[in-house]
Chains A and B, each alone.
Chain A
Amino acid sequence: MESTVPGQNRTGAAVTPDQIDRMLEAVRELSPQVPISTLAIDVERQSYIVEAESLGSVPQPAPRAKGAPKKAKAKVKGASPSLLMDKLGERIAFERTGSRLYDALISKFLALSNAGEDVLPPADSLRLDREALAQRELPKGEAALDTLKRIRAEELRHLKLLADTVSGLGGDPTAQTPCADVIAAASAGLVQVLTDPRTTLAQCLNVILTVELTDNAGWELLSELTENAGQGALVEQFSAALADERQHLVIVRGWLESLLNNQAGTPAV
C-alpha cells in the first residue's frame, strides 16, 4: 500500500524530448500528416453492424416443474413484456456484481484500517446533500465499516428482490439476459480496478461512484418500466430500492470528496 506521489512516470512525451523529436522526424519522413480520414474504418464497421446477429435472446418463461402447483403468474402489460424481463435481468446482473465490488472495497478498506490508517469518517459526519437523503436518513454515528457492510447487504437485498420479481413474472432469475450480458461486459473494468492490490481507496471509490450513478439511473428507469407494465405492486418496492441507492450515492460521493480534500498524500489517496 503506497500513496500516489510524484515520481518517475515515463509515459509522457515531455520525459524524452530528444527522442520524441527523432520520432516526429521519422513521422515527417515516412508518414507525413495528411487530413485525417477514418471513412474506411467507418464503412467497414457499419457493414458489420448491418450484418450482425443479436447478442442472444431473452429467455422463454420458465416451464412449470412436473407436479408443481399452478401459480398465478403476474400479467405483464405493454407491448414488450420481454423488454421488462431483459431489464430486470440487467439489474440482477449489476446488483450481483455490485455486491462483489463492495466485497472488494471492504477488503481494501480493512487492509488500510488494519495498518492503522483512519481513512473514512462516519458518513453522518460528512457534509452531504441532505435533500437527497430525505427518503432514507443516515443512521446516527454508524462507523464507516458498518456503513460499507450495510450498503453491501442492501445491494444483496435488491438482488433478492429482483430475483423474486422475475420468478413471480414466470421468468428464470438465473438466466443471463442480453442486457445482463451487456452490463457485465461494461462492468469488467470496474472489477479490474477494485481488485487490483495497487489501487488506492480513493481510486476505488471513484469507480464505485460510477457504479452508484448507474444504479440510481437503472432503478429509476426500472421503476418507470414497471409502472408502465402495470406492475403497480412492484413500484413501491422498487422505489424503496431507489431510495437506498440515492443514499449510497450521496455517501460514496461524500467519502470521495473527504479523501481528496483531507487525505492527499496518504496511502488512501
Chain B
Amino acid sequence: MTIDLLRDKGTPLSEQRMSWKDMVGKPISKLDDDAFTRVRIILMNGLELDSLRTKQVALRSNRDARVQLAQLMRIEQHQATTVNWLIGADHSPIETTIGYEQTAIEVTASIAKLEPDPYLATAYRYALLEDFDHLYRYSALLDRLEGKDANNIVQGYTDIVPARPTVVHHRAPEHDLLRPYGADAPLATKLNALTLTGGEYQTHDYYMNIGPLFADPLARQLYAEIASVESQHITHYGSMLNPDESPLEKLLIGEACEVWNYAGCLEQESNPRVKAIWEKFLDYELGHLQAVVDLFKDAERRDPAELLGDGKLPKFIQFKSHRDFVRETISRETQLRKDGTEFVPEEAEGASSIIYREAVNAAGSPSSTVADTYSWTPGTELMRTDVKAA
C-alpha cells in the first residue's frame, strides 16, 4: 500500500471511537511472540505518549487550536492505552526493561543507517552505544536479582555485551546538546529525530516509575543512574529538533511521524492480531494528519507540502537484528565523547563533564557494580561450568 500524506483521508475523527474492552484486548505472548512484535509495541507506545505530550504543550500556547487539540488527544490517549496494554503481565519490570533497551538498540541502529545527514547519523550511533551498554547492565541485574536470562526476551537478535560503559555516560548538560536540523531538512531527518525523542522520553518515564518499586538497593541505584542517562538522551535527541518550528509545524511532523511508524509496523508485523491494530491506527493517524493539515492551512496560511514534500513516506525503520552494524559501530566509535555539540576523541571531552561525572560517581558506580565480572551466558551465569554447586 502506498500512502500519500497529502491526499489519504484515513478514518474521520468522528468515527474514531473505542470501548474500554477494545482498549484492553489480549496481550502478546512473552514466550511465543517474536521479540520484534514487543519492540514495535514499545516503540508505538512511546510515539503515542509523545504525541500527547506535544499536543498538551501546544494547547498551552495556542488559543485557536484548543478544541481540535483536545479532540485529537482523547483518541491518542486511547490508542496509547490499546498499544501499551498489549504487554503481558508476566513480564517482570526488568524483563520489560530489557525489551525497552532492545527497542532502543535495534530502532536506533536502523535510524542511524537511514539518516541522510552524516552529523545526525553519528549522533544516533553515539547514543546507540549507550543504550547498548544499558542492555548489558540490566541483563546482569536480571540474572543476579531474579535468576533470569535476558535472552528469553531478546531471542538471539541482540548481543548482550558492554560498549561505551554507562559509568562514562554522565555528561555535563551543555555537552548533551546537538546542532538542530534546519528548516529545509528532508522529512526523513525530521521523522527520525522525533521518533527517537519520543522513544527515549518513554524509556525515561518508565524507569522513573518502576525504579522505586524495587526493594533491592542495587536495582534502585541502577534505575536511578540509567534514568538519568535516558534524561540526557531526551535532551540529545530533542535538541536535534529545529527550535524555530512553530507549534503547528511540530504537530504536523508529529502526525506524519505516527503515520510513517504505523505503516512501517504494519508492513513488518508477524502477529495478525497486532497487525490489525497497526492497520486501524494507521487509518486513525491519517485522519489526525488531515485534521492538523486543515489547522496548518487555516492558522498559518501555509502549504503543508512545505513540510510533507510530495506526500510520500520515507523508507521505514527495519525491525530486524542490526548485529553487524552495531558491532562495527562498537569497534569504531566506543571511544567517542562529547564537547558541546561536537563528537570528539576521549582525551578532548568537555572538561565540565569530567567534573560532573566525578561528583555523581563519587560513592561508586551502580552500573559497574551490578555487572562486575558479568559475561552473558545462555541460561544465566549460574549455568557456567565453572560455577559449582557446593
- Co-complex (A, B): yes
Q: Mark B359-390, 1 if CB is under 8 A from A, else 0.
A: 00000100011101111111101001011000
Does A83 interact with chain B (Cβ within 8 Å)? no
- Identify which of A26, A41, A45, A192 gathers the most chain B CB atoms within 10 Å of its CB: A41
Contact of A41 among B136, B370, B381 (CB under 8 A): B370
CB-defined contacts of A33 to chain B, threshold 8 Å: 375, 377, 384, 386
Q: Given that A19-B157, A30-B161, A30-B162 are contacting pairs, would A44 and B364 also be in contact in the complex, using a CB cutoff of 8 Å?
A: yes
Interface residue tally of chain A, by bracket? 35 or more
Does B328 interact with chain A (Cβ within 8 Å)? no
CB-defined contacts of A196 to chain B, threshold 8 Å: 89-90
- Count of CB-CB pairs between chains A and B under 8 Å: 107
| Interface positions of A from 31 to 71, Cβ below 8 Å from B | 31-41, 44-45, 48
CB-defined contacts of B152 to chain A, threshold 8 Å: 11-12
Q: Is the CB of A35 within 8 A of B372?
A: no
| CA distance in complex: A7, B373 (Å) | 36
Q: Given that A8-B32, A41-B144 are contacting pairs, would A31 and B156 also be in contact in the complex, using a CB cutoff of 8 Å?
A: no
| Interface positions of B from 258 to 304, Cβ below 8 Å from A | none
A106 to chain B, nearest CB (A): 20
In the complex, residue of chain B having the shortest beta-carbon distance to the beta carbon of A22: B323
Does B159 interact with chain A (Cβ within 8 Å)? yes
| CA distance in complex: A34, B217 (Å) | 25
Q: Is the CB of B155 within 8 A of A11?
A: yes
Q: Is the CB of A13 within 8 A of B379?
A: yes
Q: Is the CB of A35 within 8 A of B321?
A: no
Q: Is the CB of A11 within 8 A of B161?
A: no
Q: Mark B25-58, 1 if CB is under 8 A from A, else 0.
A: 0010011111100000000000000000000000
CB-defined contacts of A27 to chain B, threshold 8 Å: 159-161, 375-377
Q: Given that A36-B387, A37-B373, A41-B144 are contacting pairs, would A23 and B156 also be in contact in the complex, using a CB cutoff of 8 Å?
A: yes
Q: Is the CB of B372 within 8 A of A38?
A: yes
Does B216 interact with chain A (Cβ within 8 Å)? yes
Q: Is the CB of A40 within 8 A of B386?
A: no
B223 to chain A, nearest CB (A): 15
Q: Given that A10-B31, A19-B321, A31-B161 are contacting pairs, would A45 and B378 also be in contact in the complex, using a CB cutoff of 8 Å?
A: no
In the complex, residue of chain B having the shortest beta-carbon distance to the beta carbon of A13: B378
| CA distance in complex: A44, B384 (Å) | 25
Q: Is the CB of B369 within 8 A of A15?
A: no
B362 to chain A, nearest CB (A): 14
Does B151 interact with chain A (Cβ within 8 Å)? yes
Given contact pairs A13-B378, A40-B369, a sample of 13 additional A-B residue pairs in the complex whose CB atoms are under 8 Å apart? A10-B155, A11-B152, A19-B157, A19-B323, A22-B323, A23-B159, A23-B160, A31-B162, A36-B381, A37-B373, A39-B372, A44-B217, A45-B218
What 8 pairs between A and B have smallest CB-CB spacing? A19-B156, A16-B156, A13-B378, A30-B161, A11-B152, A48-B217, A26-B159, A40-B369
